[in-house]
Structure 1
Amino acid sequence: MKKSIVVFALFFIASLSVFAQKSTPYVDYKGHIHYEKKLIGSLSSKGGFDQSGKPVTKVDGSGNIVDMNGKKLGKAPKSNTFVYYFNEKPENYTIGKQSHNGMCEVKNAKGQTVMLLHQNYKAQAACAVHCLYENKCMPINMEHKQ
């Protein structure tokens, strides 16, 4: 009897941790940015948009990611790496190789996966990271979650 109670308790605790896990944000093949089954923004070749379609970021002629006021937010990827500026501090990210479904893992400097990104939107990766920060939905283990 005691053994079955212990097994049940362990199973119950394990199931709680599974339900508590957050999903990984992702950008699908259409450029839609999703987090926890909600559309939080979108990307196009012109930049990033909020969920209502209002422009938020763009890629300028020099490969900088800028907001609509011209503030530099990051750099477009070169050799599958890019920079995003969080409170004026540069953060480096790496875009992994695409899987069979066209998705790539985007990892921070610590090697943590922060989002999945469809290969069609690699040039706008910093725009997607900006959307995650602005919507306060970077994965919970990221150091800059507010």
Structure 2
Amino acid sequence: MKKNQFIFLLAFLFFAIGNVYSQNYKQPIPSIDAQGKVTDAKGKHIGWVTSDGIIKDAAGVKIAHIDDKGNAVDATGKNLGKASKNGTYLYHVKSGASDSLTVSVPMNGICEVKDKNGKTVLLLHENYKQYGACAMHCLQMKSEHKDMKMK
């Protein structure tokens, strides 16, 4: 009987220690996968971005798009910001100031989007490098029911 308990204890410890090391120790970061699915830091699906710059919410409703000049335009036609060719996104905030998100060079097909302080705020597939930062910003603002300053 004691031998069975000892074996059970060893097996339990083996699996418990294995699970501790397999946990994700990093801070969760929003992401955009290769199909354009946008998920927030909690892993919740919040929208889509297409390779031609159309941004949709989780229900598939178009909320914004990137026009041929690189402007992020909402569904009413108002300018929300500028998506540069290198993926940098200049956006307007309610206070009237502008801020930006910069996109790194792809490593293994994944780009990092960083804020002005250098903190990684988004991981995105290289297919969406040009529109990813813009899409994430628009979808987060919509999901938080926040207003953006319109130009």
Q: TM-score, normalised by structure 2?
A: 0.70
Distance 1:89 1:41 in 2: 26
Residue deviations 1:100-119, cap 9 Å, x none?
Answer: 1x111000111111111111
Shift of 1:99: 1.6
2:44 to 4, 15, 38: 38
Could you tell me which residue of structure 1 aligns to residue 136 of structure 2? 128
Query: Could you tell me which amino acid in structure 2 is paired with residue 84 of structure 1?
Result: Y
SS of equivalent residue, structure 1 residue 79: coil
Shift of 1:64: 0.1
Using the aligned pairs only, state the percent identity. 31
SS of equivalent residue, structure 1 residue 78: coil
1:95 and 2:100 equivalent?
no
Distance 2:130 2:110 in 1: 14
Question: Matched residue pairs, number?
Answer: 119
Could you tell me which residue of structure 1 aligns to residue 148 of structure 2? none
Query: Could you tell me which amino acid in structure 2 is paired with residue 69 of structure 1?
Result: T
1:27 and 2:32 equivalent?
yes
Q: 1:60 to 1:80 in 2, by over 3 A?
A: closer
SS of equivalent residue, structure 2 residue 139: helix
Distance 2:136 2:58 in 1: 12
Q: TM-score, normalised by structure 1?
A: 0.72
Distance 2:54 2:98 in 1: 20
Structure 1 residue runs of 5 or longer lacking an equivalent are 1-14, 137-146
Could you tell me which residue of structure 2 aligns to residue 69 of structure 1? 76
Distance 2:81 2:44 in 1: 25
CA contact (8 A) 1:48 1:128 kept: no
Structure 2 residue runs of 5 or longer lacking an equivalent are 1-19, 145-151
1:56 to 63, 66, 75: 63
Largest Rg, 1 or 2: 2
Q: 1:50 to 1:132 in 2, by over 3 A?
A: same
Shift of 1:61: 2.2
Could you tell me which residue of structure 2 aligns to residue 110 of structure 1? 117
Measured on the aligned residues, the alpha-carbon RMSD in Å equals: 2.2
1:84 to 88, 91, 96: 91
